[in-house]
Structure 1
Amino acid sequence: MELLSDIQVIYVEDDEVDRHIFKLVLNKISVNSHVKFLENGEEFLDFYYRRNSYRNREPFQGKVIIFLDINMPRLNGLDVLKRLSESQSKVLEESFPPIIMFSASKREVDISESRRLGATDYVVKPFSYQEMQSSLKALFCRYLQSGKLKETSL
């Protein structure tokens, strides 16, 4: 299996097991990549807007992609998309990294609402490690080839 490289991931997920599996998969399919875990939508917005404990953070740069769970405490993934779209004329501007809704929900209302609010894609979380590995590798390859995954700085 050919490895990908230098992908910078922000993964907003409250479940520790899901974060651990994601990290294992990313390390298996990619080299020189980094994942920044954030536990809820409120923490992501603080990170993105450099507020509170993230006020003095270093820039997060490279081929950046954001994975966002829907069902989280404090501020869920759909609420994050709403806040981003309210603060920008267009959430997915040329310079904005892709936002992948990565959720266990298969509900059509969640999928259509995610797309309406500006998510780049919606992926139902695979049930097994192998499924996640092939799903993420295919997604990263597709985004690299299409030019959606490009150098960005947040």
Structure 2
Amino acid sequence: MDIPSNIKIIYVEDDEIDRHIFEVVLNKIMVNPSITFIKNGEEFLDFFQKKNSYKDRPPIQGLLIIFLDINMPRLNGLEVLKKLAEIPKPPTQEYLLPIVMFSGSKREMDIFESKRLGAMDYVVKPFSYQEMIISLSSVISGYVKKGILKEMEI
């Protein structure tokens, strides 16, 4: 299945090598992917709420997917999910943020907590390039096929 070009991806990951591999893989499965990289959970919350250095950032609009690592300094992925749940949503916002936990952790507790706190999915980072292509392609095209992604602006 072709992945639509209006999908916007935000990847919150502190490891530069992981960000690079993610970008290489997305370029393999999508045409000109729109990716915003954010280095930690604290920075993502500022980005999401348009605070501090992000107060003047242009909006991101389209079919949005957020990939969020768990193990990050300052604010880990689970703490980010907790803080996102505390942010008041406008009455017109009827959708859930499509957040996919993308982590090296296979711990059942991390998976359970992620979903309990609002993540739509939990994907263990694959160890090979080919596995990552299959994994990310499957998640993104599955969301498109099921109509999970909604047009939104943040």
Q: What TM bracket, shorter-length normalisation?
A: over 0.9
- Summarize the alignment of residues 72-111 of structure 1 with structure 2, pairs less than 5 Å apart: 72-88=72-88, 94-111=94-111
Report the Cα distance in structure 2 between the residues aligned to 1:4 and 1:28, rounded to whole angstroms. 11
**Counterpart-to-counterpart distance in 1, 2:21 and 2:79:** 25
Instruction: Please identify runs of 4+ aligned residues in structure 1 that moved more than 6 A.
Output: none
Extract unaligned runs of 5+ from structure 1.
Answer: none
How far has the Cα of 1:3 moved from its partner? 4.2
Q: Deviations over 1:7-64 (max 9, x none)?
A: 2100000000100000001011001321000000000000000000000110011111
SS at match of 2:80: helix
Query: Which residue of 2 is the match for residue 48 of structure 1?
Result: 48
Amino acid at match of 1:70: I
SS in 2 for 1:75: coil
Match for residue 115 of structure 1? 115
Secondary structure class of the residue paired with 1:31: coil
Q: How does 1:3-152 map to 2 (within 5 A)?
A: 3-6=2-5, 7-88=7-88, 94-152=94-152
| Paired residue type of 1:68 | L
Counterpart Cα distance in 2 of 1:54 and 1:45? 10
* SS in structure 2 at match of 1:11: strand
Count of aligned positions: 150
Secondary structure of the residue aligned to 2:21 is helix
The unaligned stretches of length 5 or more in structure 2 are none
Superposition RMSD on alpha carbons, in Å? 1.3
Mapped to 1, the partners of 2:88 and 2:142 lie a distance apart of 26
1:95 Cα offset (Å)? 3.1
Q: Is the 8 A contact 1:103 1:125 kept in 2?
A: yes
- Identity among equivalent positions (%) equals 61
Alignment partners' CA distance in 2, 1:121 and 1:94: 19
